[in-house]
A and B are shown apart, each in its own frame.
Chain A
Amino acid sequence: GENVEQHPSTLSVQEGDSAVIKCTYSDSASNYFPWYKQELGKRPQLIIDIRSNVGEKKDQRIAVTLNKTAKHFSLHITETQPEDSAVYFCAYWSGTYKYIFGTGTRLKVLA
């Protein structure tokens, strides 16, 4: 079936360190892989996305990598700051016209 496994479910890092969140998906027809950040009490918001024709995309301290062969994609946050603390969701656009979300990673950046 359509699903995406996201790990870890919680992640604590020291301020300034890097954080990596990994997702594995099942639908080989997928061609769009977004990442959403949800701050406490707020709505999810897109922070970065990648399409299947590229393997990596960067936006300042945030990067996403995609391995279509292995059906993995990962979010990398460098030089973490307290404001990076939030829940992060990976997702992909399935071949059946649905966005499939992971179960989320709660990131805590310790000052």
Chain B
Amino acid sequence: EAQVTQNPRYLITVTGKKLTVTCSQNMNHEYMSWYRQDPGLGLRQIYYSMNVEVTDKGDVPEGYKVSRKEKRNFPLILESPSPNQTSLYFCASSLTPGQGAGELFFGEGSRLTVL
């Protein structure tokens, strides 16, 4: 089954404790991206990756890091989480946008609470 899998689905942590949210897709997609969803603000892009070892900042990258060492994986790293990073996070992937943008497939979401 084609899917985007992210873990953990729910996490409560404390300020300053490093955490990683994993994301994996099995559709051989080149494009992967992270979004955060907050009430009234829609989906805001954090980072995206056009291909292995190619990443770039989205609209709200502060406080986050990513890596793309393999095509299927795109982890989101919060080096020192703060309460303003409490949010619902979605990973997503799609076929090569350069050849004509296509459907974004979203993971199930990770709800993060930073105390």
Which residues of A approach B to under 8 Å, CB–CB?
Answer: 6, 9, 31-32, 34, 36, 42-46, 49, 51, 89, 91, 93, 97-104
- Nearest to A41 among chain B residues (CB) is B109
Q: Main SS of the interface on chain A?
A: strand
Min CB distance B7 to A, Å, is: 14
A43 in contact with B90 (CB, 8 Å) = yes
Inter-chain contact total with CB atoms closer than 8 Å: 55
Min CB distance B33 to A, Å, is: 7
- Nearest to B35 among chain A residues (CB) is A101
**Residues of chain B contacted by A46 (CB below 8 angstroms):** 103-104
Q: Does B2 lie at the interface of the complex (its beta carbon under 8 Å from any beta carbon of A)?
A: no
Min CB distance B48 to A, Å, is: 6
Q: Does B41 lie at the interface of the complex (its beta carbon under 8 Å from any beta carbon of A)?
A: yes
- B residues 22-80 with Cβ under 8 Å of A? 33, 35, 40-45, 48, 50, 56, 58-59
Interface residues on B, range: 20 to 34
What are the 4 A-B residue pairs with the smallest beta carbon separation, nearest first? A93-B101, A32-B101, A103-B42, A101-B43
Q: Does B81 lie at the interface of the complex (its beta carbon under 8 Å from any beta carbon of A)?
A: no
List 7 other contacts, CB 8 Å, given A46-B103, A97-B97, A101-B45.
A32-B101, A34-B104, A42-B108, A45-B106, A98-B33, A103-B41, A104-B42
Min CB distance A47 to B, Å, is: 10
**Residues of chain A contacted by B100 (CB below 8 angstroms):** 31-32, 51
Min CB distance B56 to A, Å, is: 7
**Residues of chain A contacted by B56 (CB below 8 angstroms):** 97
> A89 is contacted by which of B42, B45, B59 (Cβ under 8 Å)?
B42
Q: A89-B43, A98-B45, A104-B42 are in contact. Are A43 and B106 (CB under 8 A)?
A: yes
B104 in contact with A99 (CB, 8 Å) = yes
- Nearest to A96 among chain B residues (CB) is B56
Q: A93-B97, A103-B40 are in contact. Are A44 and B106 (CB under 8 A)?
A: yes
